[in-house]
Structure formats: C-alpha cells, structure tokens
Structure 1
Amino acid sequence: MDASVGMDGGSATRNFLHHHHSRTSPPLQQPQISQIGTVPQLLSGGIAGAFSKTCTAPLARLTILFQVQGMHSDVAVMSKPSMYREALRIVNEEGFRAFWKGNLVTVVHRLPYSAVNFYAYEQYKNILKSIPGLESYGANKSADVLVHFLGGGLSGITAASATYPLDLVRTRLSAQRNSIYYQGIRHALRTICKDEGFFGLYKGMGATLLGVGPSIAISFAVYESLRSYWHSRRPNDSTVLVSLACGSLSGIASSTATFPLDLLRRRKQLEGAGGRARVYNTGLFGTIGQIVRSEGFRGLYRGILPEYYKVVPGVGIAFMTYETLKKLLSQGPCG
C-alpha cells in the first residue's frame, strides 16, 4: 500500500499503516497539512512506499509467479509451490537481479498513486461532509468513521483506476521468466495497446475495484479492535510499537480475506499476454469457478506464503522511512 499522511502521533501512524499494507491500496487517511506542507507529505509517502516495495520486491515477485502458475500449466504435473526452490530457479536461470523484475514500474506507480489518492480523499471528504447527517465530522465519532471509510474507499477506487495500466505492466514484467516479450515499461504499454487494444491495459480491473471495499473494512475493523484491546490491557506501551503490530496484523487479515481477488486480478492481467491464448473466457465469478474446478479451493490461495512474509517488513520499513523523510523535509525550505 502507499504511504498515508497525517501528523498527530498515533492517528498519523494508524492512517499511514492502513494506507500502506493492502495490495488493493485503499487509503485510510486523514490528511492534516498544518505542520508540514502537502508536497513534502506526498514525497515522504511516495518515497516510503517505493522504498518499502523495493525491499520486499523479491517476495512480491514470488507471490506473482505462484499466483499465475496454474494458468498455463497442467495442474496434475505441477510441483508443490516451494519458495526456496523457486528462489533458486530464479537465481540459476534468470540471475539475482531478476528478483526485482517489474519493480521499476512499482516505483514509478507510487507517486502518482499517492498524489491522486491524497487529493481525491480531500475532495470526497468535503463532498461527504456536506451530506445531511455527516456534517458533524470531527465531533461525532460514527460520522467520523463513515466519512473516513467512504472517502477512503472512493479515493482508493479513483487512484487505482487512474494508475491501473502501470499495475498491469508490473504484473506482465514480473511474470516473465526466461522468454522476454516485453522489454520495459514503454515497450510493454505500446505492445499491449497494439496487440490487445487500449482496453487491454485495464484487464482485471473489476477484481481490483471489488477488493477495495472489503480490504478497507477488514483492515479498519481488525486494526481498531486490536488497538483498543491492547490499550485496555497495556496502556503504557509505545504508540508506534502498538500501531506497527496492529498494522501488520490487520494487513495479514486483509490479505487473507482478499487474496483470491488478488489472484484473480493477476490472472486476468495476464490474459492474452505475449500473444498467448486466452484461458478464462468468463466473468469474475465464472473464472473463480474455473480455478476451483481445475486447481481446488487451495488454488485461490496459491502464493499467499510470500505475501504473508512481506507484510510485517513492508509495514515497518515504509513507516520508519516515512517518519524519517517527514522530519528531514519539514526542516527543508519547503517544510
């Protein structure tokens, strides 16, 4: 997930963590731009998200390779997914740098995603506050949660839609093994438009948008319940430690619940890639049925292990980077 924005201790931490860990990238943020300028916040958030994703890129690539493994392989002869064996294969066949295949697109994707998210959230929040019943935002806790939740969902959908082609290109580059069909970001964008038409850049977007709501709801519910339970038992624990722990656990819960949709998105994104024949000719639910029939229910969770492994370091690295950059940039001339 991208970096969130917000300055006030625990709530800044909470909003940043919510915004960081989900694959569908829904923002749960409350921008407060009094202590640090908007541009430094966006830069801090974007760079922190990009750095975190670069550090966990090998695990992200393993997830994608496992997720799409059942598409063109005969399931009967497929080996049991082993992270160690797959990592060895990547090093031996593609070289060590191949762990970062597709990572440049992820980095390029971060800043526009953060920017669209930030500004869309502000706009949606203003619109929602003008709706009767929600005008008590900031004073009424339930109105607060609703504005936060709906604004987060809508800005997540807007940002995901605006930057979706980059997400699709990232999947295509990451899924390439030895035969290289797409040479880089620009070549991939040009080739997809030529081979599959402009709308080829939006394959799998339905699954992405479908995952935004549940992902926000689960993250938010798990995070808030864990945090209040923890505070009731150990009120003196460090706010940062509590936020990081609860942020990681809510990330794991959200990943588990929405992983089948993520797998679906990746497979839809690869439909017809490199001139290959289509595998799924039905809609989202037809495709889920096809995967369950051919690979079993476990097929929907292919690749979830590396996904779990990257949640905790991903959240920690992003948060620490964000805090450091925020301090540095607030001391600069534009702070």
Structure 2
Amino acid sequence: MGEPGQLKRALIDASAGAIAGAISRTVTSPLDVIKIRFQVQLEPTTSWALLQRNLYGPSKYTGMLQATKDILREEGLPGFWRGNVPALLMVMPYTSIQFTVLHKFKTYMSGSSKAENHIQLSPYLSYISGAIAGCAATIGSYPFDLIRTILASQGEPKVYPTMRSALVGVFNTRGLRGLYSGLSPTLVEIIPYAGLQFGTYDTFKRWTMAWNRMRGNSSDDSPSSFQLFLCGLAAGTLAKVVCHPLDVVKKRFQVEGLQRDVRYGARVEEGAYKNMYDALLRILQAEGWAGLYKGIVPSVVKAAPAGAVTFVAYEFTSEWLESLTRT
C-alpha cells in the first residue's frame, strides 16, 4: 500500500485516538478532579497519615468519600468537571498524536510498507514505541494539561473563572516557560508510563489471542470487547501505580504560586522546588512516602476505566472509520 494508504491510516489513527481520548476523559473527569485536589494538598490526605508529623495544619481532604461530599456541597456537580474543556483540548491532540506516532513507529519497526491496523511487535519494541508516542504527544499538548490542573485544583472562589483567564494569568505571571512548568517530570514519567501502558496492553492482548487459540477458536482469535476492556484495565492500572510519584511532582510544579482560598490549606509557593529531584526530596522529607502517593486511590480507580475505555473506544472507532472508507 502506497502513500494514499499510509495517509488514510494516519488519519484514521488520529481521528480514532482523538475520539477515544475525549470519551475517556469526560467519563472519568470526577475522579481526575479528586485526584488533583489530593495531589496539590500539602497536608496529609488519609486518616492514617494524619497521625504522622504534619508541618502544615488541618487537612481539607482526608479521603475519597469525604472529598466527593465536600466538592459536591461546595461546588455542585459542575465542580467534578472543572477543567474538562482544556482537558479535552489536551487529550484530543494528545491521544491522536500518541496513536499516530505509535502506529507509524510500529509500521517502521516491523519493516512493513503496509498501513495495517494490528501490527504485532515484540514486547520490548511495544514498550519503546509506547514511550516515544507518549513523549511526542506530551510536548504537543502540555499547556492544556497545565491549565486543566489549575482550573481543577483552584476550588471556590475561583482564581481564574475561565480557561482564557487562566492562560493569560499564567503567561503574565510566569511567562512562556510557565506554560511548561512541570514538563521535565512529565517527560520522565511518560516514558515508563506510556511504555508500560502500551507494552503491557500489547502483551496482554497477545496472551488473550493465544488463549483464544488454545480454546479452539482458531478461525477467529481476535479478543472480544470484554477481553479488550480487561487488557486496557490492567495496562492502565499497572502504569499508574509505578509512575504516580512523578505525577504528584508534576502537579506541584503546575500550581506553583496559585493563590487559592486558604481553606484549601497551605499553598505551593513560587519557587518552592528547584528541580524534579529537589521536589521529590522535599515532599519525601515533609510529607513522607504517603506524600508521593497522594491521590493514588482515585488515580488507580480512574486509570483502570480510563485505560480500558480509551483502548476499547479506539479499537471500535478505528474499525468503524475503516469500514466507512471502504464503502
């Protein structure tokens, strides 16, 4: 298949990835908001951590249920979709770039000139292709990620009422570099995260196909929608657990200097952390290991369905778009 076929494949990958990402982000937004509130809170976020040394004072959020009730009471249902617009503006180019780069890399590494959908690589190349795709997607969509975090973490009263005001505010106070605050830990995180997510997904998918063949389904060993769901769930969960501390560091850099209401606790002051290593060390010293895993529960609860929904939506959307182009 020549250039027209490659272009068609790239467009299908980009479109399917964007749609899958938008669906996943919207469905899991409430869990994402809760996760961000935990991550940017300097005080302990669990009842057992409250017994440890606390340098900051009383905690605003101490558990998922309590945080859910507080956000619902103080901000209503819309509070759970704070920052969803920039999140969609982020995730659509992010996911489309991710899947496009992923498929292009797989096509290149397989030595095939054909724009096939289900190219199988070794587990190692699947990890590498996922990491490269994740880095490319992160750089292309990062400012939207930063604005999303700020809008989702600010609470009430709002520091920035709209996405535009947040963008202008960050640019005026921190300059162009401010729109990329936290990019370093994000890139360090995305390499193992995307690598684990895509590599593990491909591995589980390969195992599932082998299992289907063992059961006598040699005529059609393609995974069912439920099997794809389980593969995506396992891949998303594993990747999130391993990489969560770097996500906490990223969020701290993103909200530096945000003057949110004092009832949300201590603020992350401008210049609080010199670099990624300094941030990890300071969080560990002041908040313990629990500090590096703040928000891990909603993060894992979110990562599982998010990964599953993304992959299943991508597979089905990709097949649907292919069928449209064949007619």
Q: 2:174 aligns with which of 189, 192, 196?
A: 196
Contact 2:135 2:187 in 1 (8 A): yes
Q: 1:239 aligns with which of 220, 223, 230?
A: 223
The alignment of Structure 1 onto Structure 2 pairs a total of residues equal to 297
Q: Distance in 2 between matches of 1:135 and 1:48?
A: 28
Matched, 1:310 2:294: no
- SS of 1:70's equivalent? coil
Q: Distance in 1 between matches of 2:12 and 2:112?
A: 30
In structure 1, list runs of 5 or more residues that go unmatched: 1-32
Q: Residue 270 of structure 1 aligns with which residue?
A: 255
Superposed displacement of residue 112, structure 1 = 2.1
Q: Which amino acid aligns with 1:64?
A: I
- SS of 2:34's equivalent? helix
User: Alignment identity in percent?
Assistant: 27
Q: Residue 91 of structure 1 aligns with which residue?
A: 72
Q: Distance in 2 between matches of 1:44 and 1:257?
A: 27
Superposed displacement of residue 39, structure 1 = 3.0
Q: Distance in 1 between matches of 2:87 and 2:293?
A: 23
The 5-angstrom pairing of residues 1-335 of structure 1 reads 37-70=9-42, 74-78=55-59, 81-121=62-102, 147-219=125-197, 222-223=200-201, 226=204, 235-236=214-215, 239-240=223-224, 241-274=226-259, 277-278=269-270, 280-332=272-324
Q: Residue 17 of structure 1 aligns with which residue?
A: none
Q: Distance in 2 between matches of 1:207 and 1:308?
A: 19
Could you tell which deviates more after superposition, 248-257 or 226-235?
226-235
Q: Distance in 2 between matches of 1:92 and 1:103?
A: 19
Contact 1:136 1:143 in 2 (8 A): no
TM-score, reference length from structure 1: 0.75
Superposed displacement of residue 326, structure 1 = 3.8
Q: Residue 18 of structure 1 aligns with which residue?
A: none
Q: Distance in 2 between matches of 1:143 and 1:313?
A: 25
In structure 2, list runs of 5 or more residues that go unmatched: 45-53, 261-266
Q: Which amino acid aligns with 1:61?
A: V
Contact 1:40 1:334 in 2 (8 A): no
Q: Which amino acid aligns with 2:19?
A: I
Q: Which amino acid aligns with 2:29?
A: A
Q: Distance in 1 between matches of 2:169 and 2:33?
A: 22
Q: 1:53 to 1:189 in 2, by over 3 A?
A: same
Q: 1:320 to 1:217 in 2, by over 3 A?
A: closer
TM-score, reference length from structure 2: 0.77
- SS of 2:42's equivalent? helix
Could you tell which deviates more after superposition, 288-297 or 151-160?
151-160
Superposed displacement of residue 314, structure 1 = 2.0
Q: Distance in 2 between matches of 1:125 and 1:330?
A: 19
Q: 1:290 to 1:175 in 2, by over 3 A?
A: same
RMSD: 3.5
Q: Distance in 2 between matches of 1:292 and 1:148?
A: 33
